[in-house]
Amino acid sequence: MGQTKVLITGVTGYIGGSILSQLLSSTQVKNNLRISVLTRKDDRARSFASLGVNVYTLNDLNDSEAIKQAASENDVVIHTASGFHTESAKNLIEGLGARKRQNAQADVYYIHTSGTSNLADHPISKTYFESRIFSDKDQDIYSYLKMREAGEPYAQRTTDLAVVETGKAQGVPTTIIMSPTIYGMGTGKFNRFSIQYPLLMKQAVRSGQAEYVGDGEGVWNFVHIVDLVMLYELVLLDWIEKRRITPVGENGIIFSATSTCKWKEAADRIGKVGADLGKLRSPEARSISLEEATRKWTGGDEQLCELGFASNSRTSADVAKDLGWRPAKTENDWEESFREEFQALFK
């Protein structure tokens, strides 16, 4: 069997960099892969050549021709650069579609990175509220996303729907890995920080104490970055070994949750650790309004603030279990990660 050509985007980022690091260190897959990366034209791009990977460059995510060309020269694309940029996702799938048309035997596959804010409710503004746990095995997540999108367009959800629809049109199998809050230090060459908790830590330092929105009772899942990249590896192995347990297309939206917490619980951990480290004036977390949080945390985007930092979003990673995914990190690791990340952020 020849090597599978795999293209990874977003390798200077948190998820993409960690996936690249995992695949390069995995004896189980690296001998079966020819890995390429797609990154911006800058000094960082040159640094990836030293890792023994092929490097494609682009100006930015609007560089459609460069994106399509890179994808058309590979069998599998793992896209992590942005879950909110619809055109780049479509361009990557179209590139794989072109490869398939040039060679009907080409076994192409697209893995997309998304987040569970797509499923989240609006407990503060009350524009949409429900409390349930979504399963990726026994529920039609695609139809649910279409229903939610019809009533409330949201860029990340818009992109996910475009991934499924473009894949169907191009004859390219697609799988979307929809993750909750990701925590822990990444293992890539550059950015090693996630988004949600580090942002709340930085804002806590600016405000002098940790903060949460409203009553902080919204519940989200979380997953450690180390466990998450193992899931990406399992999905990739499932494809290249032709077991094909992972669903694709309209059924191909899978989750990666391990455990849950309330937003107030996360704020309390930030407050305690920040005060212990001398970065906050008080260990107590305080409630703020959605309006204040929107101004401080998301640059005026209230929808993003409520969905991403105040909502309920709970999922069950049942497909991952079928693949043999066994997360190693525990709730104790989650609790201890706040100190590690806080220290690294303000080293």
b/e 298-336 (16+ beta carbons within 10 angstroms → b): beeebbbbbbbbbbbbbbbbebbebbebebebeeebbee
Angle between helices 302-309 and 196-207 (to 10 degrees): 110
pLDDT in tens, 94-111: 999 999 999 988 999 999
pLDDT for res 131: 76
274 located within any domain: no
Residue where the block lists tokens 């899942």: 221
Task: Report yes or no on 275 lying in a domain.
Answer: no
Q: pLDDT digits over 184-211, tens only?
A: 999 999 999 999 999 999 999 999 999 9
Query: Would you state the structure tokens that stand for residue 171, as one six-digit string?
Result: 């004859």
Q: Which two tokens stand for residue 170?
A: 């191009």
| pLDDT tens readout for residues 201-260 | 999 999 999 999 999 999 999 999 999 999 999 999 999 999 999 999 999 999 999 999
Q: Could you tell me which residues come within 8 angstroms of residue 210 by beta carbon, excluding any fewer than 6 positions away?
A: 200, 204, 267, 268, 270, 271, 274, 280, 284, 285, 286
CATH number at residue 66: 3.40.50.720
Note the pLDDT of residue 139: 82
Task: Tell me the average pLDDT across 342-347.
Answer: 94
Residues 225 and 14 sit within 8 Å (Cβ to Cβ): yes
Laid out side by side, the sheet with 76-79 consists of 54-58, 33-40, 4-9, 76-79, 109-115, 174-179, 253-255
pTM score, whole prediction: 0.97
Tokens of 259: 């455990």
Q: Is the pLDDT of residue 9 over 80?
A: yes
In the predicted model, is pLDDT for residue 130 greater than 90? no
Question: What percentage of the chain exceeds 70 in pLDDT?
Answer: 100
Q: Count up the domains in the chain and report the number.
A: 1
Domain of residue 159, residue span: 4-194+220-260+313-330
Residue 271 lies in a domain: no
Task: State how far the Cα of 66 lies from the Cα of 7, in Å rounded to an integer.
Answer: 13
CA distances from 231 to 130, 317, 330, 336 (A): 28, 10, 16, 22
Q: Mean pLDDT score of the chain, rounded to an integer? A: 96
Q: What is the pLDDT of residue 77?
A: 98
Q: For residue range 283-308, what is the model confidence (pLDDT) as tens digits?
A: 999 999 999 999 999 999 999 999 99
* Model confidence pLDDT, tens digit, residues 29-72: 778 899 999 999 988 998 998 898 999 999 999 999 999 999 99
Q: How confident is the model at residue 128 (pLDDT cuts 50, 70, 90)?
A: confident
On whether residue 268 sits in a domain, the answer given is no
The answer to whether the beta carbons of residues 174 and 248 sit under 8 Å apart is: yes
Which is nearest to 156 in space by CA: 207, 186, 195? 195
Q: Would you say residue 1 has pLDDT above 60?
A: no
Residue 21's CB is within 10 A of a number of other CB atoms, namely 17
Quick check: is 266 in a domain?
no
Task: Categorize the per-residue pLDDT at 279 as very low, low, confident or very high, splitting at 50, 70 and 90.
Answer: very high
b/e map 41-54, b = 16+ CB within 10 Å: eeeebeebeeeebb
Which pLDDT belongs to residue 31?
81
Report residue 169's pLDDT band, with 50, 70 and 90 as the boundaries.
very high
CA 72, chain centre distance (Å): 23
Any domain includes 143: yes
Domain-embedded: residue 127? yes
Chain segment 325-339, per-residue pLDDT in tens: 999 999 999 999 999
Task: Give a yes or no: residue 339 inside a domain.
Answer: no
